[in-house]
Amino acid sequence: MNPKRIAVVAGDGIGKEVIPQAVHAVRATGAAVEFTEFDWSADRYLRDGTTIPPDGFAMLEREFDAALVGALGDPRVPSNIHAKEILLGMRFRMDLYANVRPVKLLDESLCPLKNTRPEDVNFTVIRENTEGIYVDVGGTFKQGTPDEIAINEDVNTRKGVERIIRYAFEYAQQNGRKRVLMADKSNVLTHAHGLWQRVFKEVAGEYPAIQPSHMYVDALCLQMVREPRQLEVIVTNNMFGDIITDLAAALQGGLGMAASGNIHPGKTSMFEPVHGSAPQLAGKNAANPIGAILTAAMMLEHLGLKQECDHIEQGVLAAVRERKLTTDAGGNLGTREVGGWIAQRIRG
Ligand code: NAD
Ligand code: IPM
Ligand code: MN
């Protein structure tokens, strides 16, 4: 089998520290993969004005099986233009419509809730990733005056809503899940989320073995904290998915533990931890590399390298059980030490 070709964009801040640890973990599995690094980041943008080269997205699709991305965002670029063009650029231009964010508690000690065990927090958020209020359609009028108007449109298409809802049911079916919950604000956003309601009912009808349910997103936030064990697969729009996955990350031990994939089945997909560049942590060897390492495991599974994915997950589980962790997760090690320990464990 030809090696899988992976484009690596470590990006900014702690992305530069956690991604090398994710790469070590993959190498430790002996997986047949080839990494190619790209320096797309705030540094590059500040140096020569490049966010992503003109042919960047097409090149990724043509020459790579997947992309592994750290984080983008730097206080020296207050407009966040490079992050928008690189990260949101990949999601939109490569049409990576399903943002899959598994929420899995690995050990009771990591959960901020009382008496909560790993089997109580084990669900997946399927976030729509190419539409909604993220499309950057809108504008300002009379800017800087007392009469200023600022508009961001919330775009929901029949095609976009249908494909993400269907993805969630397919995901449930393929992963032995029995329930799919849709979260929206159809009580207020009657047009946009009325569409979500209609399409959800229609698609759910095609999957009689899976129980559909619904919550308003505010009520879901309450239930995520009060009774997370009821959740299996959640499907929601771009903005709500962003917000609830930070809350979900807290349930599994913090942003440093959370992984994600930006997927279009059959196309070059992109994998990134849920966390950002955490500028205040950067350069201190303090960031938790586990979210990035689990992200690399997700990528391997997506590429058909299930055994290698399992080895990484077992290595991470061992690190959690033996407290080989950074301080955010209750340990006393640095980024490199945690990554090094996990890689060593994977090598066996
Ligand atoms: P953030 O995720 O960077 O940090 C939020 C909090 O979580 C901070 O307290 C941080 O120290 C902590 N944290 C995050 N990752 C951690 C890790 N691996 N280990 C330990 N602690 C960790 O979010 P923010 O502060 O809102 O944003 C910082 C920058 O990152 C901004 O520019 C933002 O736009 C960007 N951002 C990028 C991505 C991405 O590239 N996918 C995601 C979120 C935010
Ligand atoms: C995420 C991030 C991004 C988002 C930002 C950095 C654009 O918060 O991946 O969760 O809002 O999607
Ligand atoms: Mn986010």
Written as one letter, the residue type at 52 is: I
3-state secondary structure of 18: helix
Ligand 1 atom closest to Cα of residue 246: 2
Contacts for 155 with CB less than 8 Å, ≥ 6 apart: 131, 132, 133, 135, 137
Return d(Cα 335, Cα 154) in angstroms, integer.
39
Q: Does the predicted TM-score (pTM) go above 0.85?
A: yes
- The answer to whether 277 touches 72, Cβ cutoff 8 Å, is yes
Q: Give pLDDT tens digits along the chain (348 positions).
A: 799 999 999 999 999 999 999 999 999 999 999 999 999 999 999 999 999 999 999 999 999 999 999 999 999 999 999 999 999 999 999 999 999 999 999 999 999 999 999 999 999 999 999 999 999 999 999 999 999 999 999 999 999 999 999 999 999 999 999 999 999 999 999 999 999 999 999 999 999 999 999 999 999 999 999 999 999 999 999 999 999 999 999 999 999 999 999 999 999 999 999 999 999 999 999 999 999 999 999 999 999 999 999 999 999 999 999 999 999 999 999 999 999 999 999 998
How do beta strands 211-216 and 179-184 pair?
Answer: parallel
Q: What residue owns the CA closest to ligand 1's atom 38?
A: 276
DSSP annotation of 32: S
Asked whether 14 lines ligand 1 (CB < 6 A), one says: yes
Written as one letter, the residue type at 141 is: F
Closest CA to 289 of 334, 251, 245: 334
pLDDT of residue 275: 97
- The answer to whether 342 touches 292, Cβ cutoff 8 Å, is no
pLDDT of residue 313: 98
Q: Which of 242, 245, 277 to mutate to test the pocket of ligand 2 (most atoms within 8 A of CB)?
A: 242
End-to-end Cα, the chain, rounded Å: 24
- The answer to whether 5 touches 64, Cβ cutoff 8 Å, is yes
pLDDT of residue 1: 73
Asked whether 12 lines ligand 1 (CB < 6 A), one says: no
Q: Which of 18, 77, 101, 255 to mutate to test the pocket of ligand 1 (most atoms within 8 A of CB)?
A: 255
- Positions marked active-site: 134, 185, 218, 242, 246
* Number of neighbours of residue 196 by Cβ within 10 angstroms: 25
Asked whether 242 lines ligand 2 (CB < 6 A), one says: yes
Name the helix (H) or strand (E) containing 219.
Answer: helix 217-226
3-state secondary structure of 183: strand
Among the bound ligands, name the one nearest to the CA of residue 243: 3
